[in-house]
Structure 1
Amino acid sequence: MKLINKLTYWILGVVFLVTPFTMVISYRSIKDNINNAEIARLTQVTDKVAAQLKAGQPPHQYMLDRPITVKTVAAMPTVKTQPHNYNFYNTELKRNECRMDVTSYYNINGKVYAVYTYNYVTQGRQIIMGMIYALAWKMGLLTISVLITGRLLSKYILSPFNQTLKSIGQFTLGNREKLVLPATTTAEFKELNSFLKNMTDRALQEYSAVKEFSENASHEVQTPLAVIRTKLELLSETPINEDQALLIGDMQSSIEKLVKINRSLLLLTKLNNAEYHTTEQVKLCRIAKDMVRDMEPHMEMKGITLRNHIGSNIPVLIHPVLAEILLNNLLSNAIRYNAPDGYIDITLTPNRLMVKNPGQPPVVEPEMLFQRFKKSNQCADSIGLGLSIVQQICSVNNFEVSYTYQNNEHILQVIFAEEALQTEQAITVEETFFAADTALA
């Protein structure tokens, strides 16, 4: 939810929550003021009548056309003025009425007089109905005003903040361009822009340093490895005994593994730095079929049966190089950890890619297999980076990758992101191949 919407809903919520309490307070205040004003007016009338009685004047002139009653009582009550407010139904007018009665007591010439008068006042129901009517207009106008002013606030005051968010969303380290933020007069936005500017500039510097180091390290390591490989090949061509040949073979295997590790770490670095950008979809089904065809001889050597369920017309938004590496690592992993004379079941649909193969259960927790240099059953031929590369490829493409071991089967599954797919009809085809082992890159 946008910030301006939260602020709008918060303001409206506070208004609607507080209004009932203010309405009750206003109602009581208005009603009490009306009653007190009427009591004061009626008391003045009774005081005027009492003054005429005390002066010996007949009060008929003042009582003319006024509902006033004068009578004597036995004793003076404790409260001199006694108001009384009550509602009743007027049978003549056929409506509810509210009447205010005031009885005042006076001691005049040794006698106690009770002067009674009354008047009709506004009913509480009439007051509350008027307030509700006014409140409905007030709340309607207030809601419309808050919504309109909120949109204006978002358009003008929050515009620099929205532009900052847009600039951050478009910022990438790979472009090596400094973050450009809009100018603003709001102090908080200025502070935010300053922080983001310093942070991204520092990130660009660190990224450039790390990228330069990784590229230099990869280049510098390749040179001595190539020299060592060449020297070993020359040494193997000289007269050597059997033990020396075994040692040379072990060294060559180690060097090849170092080359693979170096290439894999460099690939992971590039993936972490988001250097593989793509805006076009590739036919993943075509790449998968080519990969299966290339691995057919290796599978045949190990007697592995391929159960192929690769659909057709499956476009996915992914870099072609990453698609090949992803499929190669998944199939190579399935070959390496397969059972003797086993099988590989590969399924490719518009929504997912799944590779299954029989084999021994892993000796580590399934979630740890995606960590670097973690290997199932510690296979000597593996460098422990294949599944880590798979996970990183899925991460940069917003895919979901998971591993499970069920019914003596290793199951690796990749769920494609919705934005990476097209709504094309996929046609499933089934083929069976025989192929053999291949090494991880």
Structure 2
Amino acid sequence: MNLVNKISVWFIAIILLVTPVSMYISYTSIKKRLDNVEIERLKTVNNYVINQIKKGETPANSTQGLPISINVLNGKNLPAEPEIIHTCLEDNGVSKNECKIQINSFANIDNKIYKISSYTYITATKEIMGGMLIALFWKLLLITAIVFITARILSKFILKPFHHAIDGLQKFSIQKKERLELLPTSTKEFKKLNEFLKTMTDKALEEYASVKEFSENASHEVQTPLAIIQSKIELLAETEINENQAILLTDIQNSIDKLSRINRSLILLTKLNNNEFLTNKELKFCTVEKEALCAYHDHLALKNITLNRNSEKNVYVKIHPTLAEILLSNLLSNAIRHNLEGGKIEINLTKSYFQISNTGLPPDVPTNELFKRFKKSNQSQESIGLGLSIVKQICEVNNFLVQYDFADGWHSITVYFDHKEINKPYILHKSEENNLEFESVEQIVNFAE
């Protein structure tokens, strides 16, 4: 429920709570006022008749349109106040829509006690209440309609800065390096909101620029000494060295290569966190997959790995081309690196998911922890522990879901393009009809072409 509707409902709820109380007060006041007016009128008529008797005049049967009755009492005690009698009984000849009010006044004239009575009819309580309820119904209906109509009209003017701020935040992107522009407003609360949003977005732009500059500088500054060290090692390798020195130089070279990969991976993760690879275009994913398989055919041949592939045609996925290549490259290299000598790899690609499975030893850590940075199994010391972290980050950026499973000696990583397909059993570990199985380098190259 939006803000305007909540305010409208809250306002109407207050009216519904206050109205019964105000109606009861109004009813009590009106009823009392009507009764008092008639009572005072009857008392005045009775006093007029008493004055006539005192003057020796003969009173008429009615005065001021009100019936009068005069009786002489035998008692000697004179009541101090007039007697007021309310009667609302149908069997007394009173209409169900009216009530009878009778006033009995007493006077001592010439040692005789006179009882002068007059009466009149007023509207019954039910009729007054019924009229008030009908008026209340139409009043509430009118108020409800006016509140909902005027609230929407006013929201276009009063809440316009708020809606503009929300739209601006939705379109705001730190990659565009454009400051947030907000509408001026005279509302105090919206002024504070605009000031806060401006401060936070400007700070985000400055921090993003600072982090980006730092990552770029760090990447450049780290790569430069690494390149120098590598060139020095190559020069040293060309000199006369013994076997032990050659082994040390090889270890140093491997460490430099690993450090370089870590540096590039961390820079990539930073760019992914900053959403620098957003795209609205769909990529033909099956084509990128073929190219990735072609790039890794030498690695497959070196470990004598059999590749079994089942892929649909014309699979389009909304993902940046660079991220698609990195995603497939990391998954393929991971499946090869952690595979057994003479093992197998199975690839399944549909419009809903991409799955790669490989044979291998059981993981030393829970599979859900392998997506964390620098978290790796002890199966391969060459791994830097960032490959699956990058895979997970790419999936999060593109709103994919990635899942790691191990069962019956098979490691399976599934990337779901559609979250609705997550509960379907996609894990396959044997060749099916129309599957393509490659056992040589030439078959992979010919297939990719």
TM-score, structure 2 as length reference: 0.82
Query: Which whole-Å deviations, capped at 9, do the CAs of 1:153-181 have from their partners, x for residues lacking one?
Result: 22112212222222222221112222222
Equivalence for 1:19: 19
Q: Does 1:46 align with 2:46?
A: yes
Residue 305 of structure 1 deviates from its aligned partner by 4.7
Q: Is the 8 A contact 1:305 1:432 kept in 2?
A: no
Equivalence for 1:7: 7
* Distance change >3 Å, CA 142–CA 356, structure 1 → 2: farther
* Corresponding letter in the other structure for 2:14: V
Alignment of 1:132-171 (within 5 A): 132-171=133-172
Q: Is the 8 A contact 2:78 2:108 kept in 1?
A: no
Cα distance in structure 1, aligned partners of 2:282 and 2:354: 16
Cα distance in structure 2, aligned partners of 1:279 and 1:67: 93
Query: Which whole-Å deviations, capped at 9, do the CAs of 1:24-58 have from their partners, x for residues lacking one?
Result: 33333323322332233233333333333344433
- Structure 1 residue runs of 5 or longer lacking an equivalent are 419-427, 437-441
Residue 263 of structure 1 deviates from its aligned partner by 0.7
* Distance change >3 Å, CA 14–CA 314, structure 1 → 2: farther
Equivalence for 1:423: none
Q: Is the 8 A contact 1:299 1:434 kept in 2?
A: no
Query: Which whole-Å deviations, capped at 9, do the CAs of 1:250-301 have from their partners, x for residues lacking one?
Result: 1111111111111111111111222213121112233234334443443454
Q: Is the 8 A contact 1:354 1:413 kept in 2?
A: yes
The 3-state SS of whatever aligns with 2:106 is strand
* Distance change >3 Å, CA 52–CA 8, structure 1 → 2: same
Residue 319 of structure 1 deviates from its aligned partner by 0.7
Q: Is the 8 A contact 1:291 1:328 kept in 2?
A: yes
Q: Is the 8 A contact 1:404 1:411 kept in 2?
A: yes
Percent sequence identity over aligned pairs? 46
* Distance change >3 Å, CA 29–CA 227, structure 1 → 2: same
Q: Does 1:371 align with 2:372?
A: yes
* Corresponding letter in the other structure for 2:29: S
Equivalence for 2:249: 248
* Corresponding letter in the other structure for 1:40: E
Cα distance in structure 2, aligned partners of 1:414 and 1:178: 36
Residue 412 of structure 1 deviates from its aligned partner by 3.4
Equivalence for 1:422: none
Stretch moving more, 55-64 or 200-209? 55-64
The 3-state SS of whatever aligns with 2:100 is strand
- Aligned-CA RMSD value: 3.3
Residue 111 of structure 1 deviates from its aligned partner by 4.2
Stretch moving more, 18-27 or 163-172? 18-27
* Corresponding letter in the other structure for 1:433: E
Cα distance in structure 2, aligned partners of 1:225 and 1:184: 55
Alignment of 1:396-435 (within 5 A): 396-405=397-406, 410-416=411-417, 431-434=435-438
Equivalence for 1:421: none
- Structure 2 residue runs of 5 or longer lacking an equivalent are 420-431, 441-449
Cα distance in structure 1, aligned partners of 2:116 and 2:342: 119
* Distance change >3 Å, CA 332–CA 116, structure 1 → 2: farther
Equivalence for 1:206: 207
The 3-state SS of whatever aligns with 1:376 is coil
The 3-state SS of whatever aligns with 1:60 is coil
* Distance change >3 Å, CA 324–CA 77, structure 1 → 2: farther
Residue 215 of structure 1 deviates from its aligned partner by 0.8
Cα distance in structure 1, aligned partners of 2:29 and 2:405: 72
Q: Does 1:106 align with 2:69?
A: no
Residue 388 of structure 1 deviates from its aligned partner by 1.8
Query: Which whole-Å deviations, capped at 9, do the CAs of 1:46-99 have from their partners, x for residues lacking one?
Result: 3333333344433225458633333345455586332314253788x9x62321
The 3-state SS of whatever aligns with 2:96 is strand
* Distance change >3 Å, CA 145–CA 237, structure 1 → 2: same
* Distance change >3 Å, CA 229–CA 132, structure 1 → 2: same
Cα distance in structure 1, aligned partners of 2:433 and 2:289: 13
Stretch moving more, 224-233 or 70-79? 70-79
Residue 389 of structure 1 deviates from its aligned partner by 1.3
Residue 143 of structure 1 deviates from its aligned partner by 2.1
* Distance change >3 Å, CA 102–CA 194, structure 1 → 2: same
Residue 322 of structure 1 deviates from its aligned partner by 0.9
* Corresponding letter in the other structure for 2:8: T
Residue 205 of structure 1 deviates from its aligned partner by 2.2
Cα distance in structure 2, aligned partners of 1:79 and 1:355: 105
* Corresponding letter in the other structure for 1:223: T
Cα distance in structure 2, aligned partners of 1:343 and 1:115: 120
* Corresponding letter in the other structure for 2:199: N
Cα distance in structure 1, aligned partners of 2:155 and 2:433: 53
Equivalence for 1:96: 96
The 3-state SS of whatever aligns with 1:393 is helix
Equivalence for 1:425: none
* Corresponding letter in the other structure for 1:321: T
The 3-state SS of whatever aligns with 2:217 is helix
Equivalence for 1:68: 68
* Corresponding letter in the other structure for 2:437: F
Cα distance in structure 1, aligned partners of 2:115 and 2:308: 112
Query: Which whole-Å deviations, capped at 9, do the CAs of 1:384-420 have from their partners, x for residues lacking one?
Result: 11122122222222333344556665443434368xx
Residue 228 of structure 1 deviates from its aligned partner by 1.9
Q: Is the 8 A contact 2:60 2:68 kept in 1?
A: no
TM-score, structure 1 as length reference: 0.84
The 3-state SS of whatever aligns with 1:370 is coil
Stretch moving more, 213-222 or 173-182? 173-182
Residue 20 of structure 1 deviates from its aligned partner by 3.1
- If asked which structure has higher relative contact order (CA below 8 Å, sep 6+), I would say 1
* Corresponding letter in the other structure for 1:86: C
Q: Does 1:80 align with 2:82?
A: yes
* Corresponding letter in the other structure for 1:208: A
Cα distance in structure 1, aligned partners of 2:373 and 2:315: 31
* Corresponding letter in the other structure for 2:5: N
Q: Is the 8 A contact 2:97 2:127 kept in 1?
A: no
* Corresponding letter in the other structure for 1:242: E
| Length, aligned pairs only | 426
